[in-house]
A and B are shown apart, each in its own frame.
Chain A
Amino acid sequence: MKVHLPNSAFLGNIDPFLRARDSSAPEFLEITANKKWISVHPVVLSMIAALGLNIKPENVRCEKFEARSKHYFVRMGLFKILGIPSDISITEHEPAGRFIPLTQIKTSEELSKFISEMIPLMHLEAEQAKTLGYIVSELVRNVLEHASAEHGALLCAQYYEKINTIRIGITDTGVGIKATINQSYPAKTDLEAIQLALMPGITGTTRREGGTEQNAGAGLFFIKSIASVNRDYFIIYSGTGFYKLLKKSSTKQMTLNADPFKDKHSEDNALPYWQGTVVGVDITLDQTEEFSLLLDVIRQTYRKTVRERTRARYKRPRFI
């Protein structure tokens, strides 16, 4: 496999990075990087870390980073998690308030501990901390419960002070969304499976409305809704399928779509195959006071969607 860290890859312009990944020779990982400056979304780091965990450290080849921003990758723990040495020296900073380095989470207990330690570290206001904790909890629990991923979830996050935004990346190399959804729904493509997974009340664990006692099929819909209301980017990539919620223009009315394809978005069903699932989210913290209002809209949208789906299943009288 070959991965190139480009000059820039954030959710708005991440598509070329995803398309450029060379997945031949899966027993090796070769990392190259832009020589002048590298500025990438945490989801890019979580993807590279996830790839590296499936490969022996001696089979990971990383070219010497020359970019002036090379220290960032040491601080985020990329070389450490890949188990490869780095000659880049840094002055260690307290991560508090700025970033969450690459972290591997494999159990429910590890997740609860991570969230309880992460929230105070990020020095966020109460409402903002709730939103961040909410997103991390729902996304990582999805991995732990559905992905059957040997290495669990790989995540990292970065706070960008100038734009008051947190960017989060969570990746796994498990079975992928299509395999999970196909346990209950006959999604033909990865993109179709992503569409179903983002709808409220759709879960791979059952076709029964209301879900099972442990799963409702609402987690990804909530996350997409938070990004949608905040007018932020949200991406999900699994198999060859890719969905990107695009930034929408500012309007006073808060509306949600149960069908993600009705949102302003881009999609692709022919990316290099990703074994597992990749999720990237941007959360503009200025907007998070709207979380409470968002819950009102989610309640209405969810109720309406379940009712319509339930009624669509009603048997009709036969008039002969």
Chain B
Amino acid sequence: MKLILIFARAGTFAENKDVARDIRMEDIMPALEKNEDIVLDFSEVEAATQSFIHALISEVLRKYGPRALDRLAFKSCNDTVKKIISIVVDYMQESMGIESDENQT
């Protein structure tokens, strides 16, 4: 399992998309290639922008589809960060024609 500490890379306010891209390309993608489980740890991160989260995970979802979410876990997110992540996960799946769990009744 690969643990990635977002605070250590992006600080308390995760907004730098270049940092998000580096985490995605240097850590997330290689780990997924090796079928490793990944934990993105948001401890001490007080806020994140949609742009940061998009740069962090949208290409992961695009490349691996929703099954990437089986390997990817988001740890210690506050309510706001959880919601931003959910927005990005939702619109990426919608854009790929995948219904979210909440729509499947």
Contacts and interface: CB of A to CB of B under 8 A. Distances in A.
Contacts of B18: 108
A142 to B, nearest CB: 9
Nearest to B89: A299
B47 interface: yes
Nearest to A135: B49
A115 B14 CA distance: 11
A137 B90 contact: no
Contacts of B13: 115-116, 119, 130, 133, 137
A310 interface: yes
Given A137-B49, A222-B50, A295 B55 contact: no
A81 to B, nearest CB: 24
Interface stretch (B35-43, B66-74, B95-103): B95-103
Contact of B51 (A209, A218, A291): A218
B27 interface: no
Interface string A290-320: 0110011011001100110010000000000
Contacts of A216: 50-51, 54, 58, 88, 91
Most buried by A among B11, B55, B100: B55
Given A108-B16, A130-B47, A307-B94, A213 B87 contact: no
A141 B54 contact: no
A292 B83 contact: yes
In this complex, the interface size class of chain B, counting residues with CB under 8 Å from chain A, is 20 to 34
A138 interface: yes
A6 interface: no
Nearest to B87: A299
A272 interface: no
Contacts, number: 102
Nearest to B79: A292
A260 interface: no
State the main secondary structure of chain B at its contact with A.
helix
B80 A295 contact: yes
Interface in A209-229: 209-211, 213-216, 218-219, 222
A110 to B, nearest CB: 11
A112 interface: yes
B14 to A, nearest CB: 10
B48 to A, nearest CB: 9
Given A116-B13, A201-B95, A210-B62, A303 B100 contact: yes
Contact of B54 (A130, A218, A298, A303): A218
A201 B91 CA distance: 9
A160 interface: no
A138 B54 CA distance: 12
B84 interface: yes
Contacts of A141: 15, 17, 51
Contacts of B100: 303
A218 B50 CA distance: 8
B86 interface: yes
Given A126-B46, A216-B58, 10 more contacts: A115-B13, A116-B13, A137-B15, A137-B49, A201-B95, A209-B94, A213-B24, A214-B54, A216-B51, A218-B54
Interface of A: 108, 111-112, 115-116, 119, 126, 130, 133-134, 137-138, 141, 200-201, 208-211, 213-216, 218-219, 222, 291-292, 295-296, 298-299, 302-303, 306-307, 310
Q: Please give me the 10 A-B residue pairs with the lowest Cβ-Cβ distance, nearest first.
A: A210-B95, A209-B95, A213-B59, A295-B83, A137-B15, A306-B94, A130-B47, A216-B54, A299-B87, A112-B16
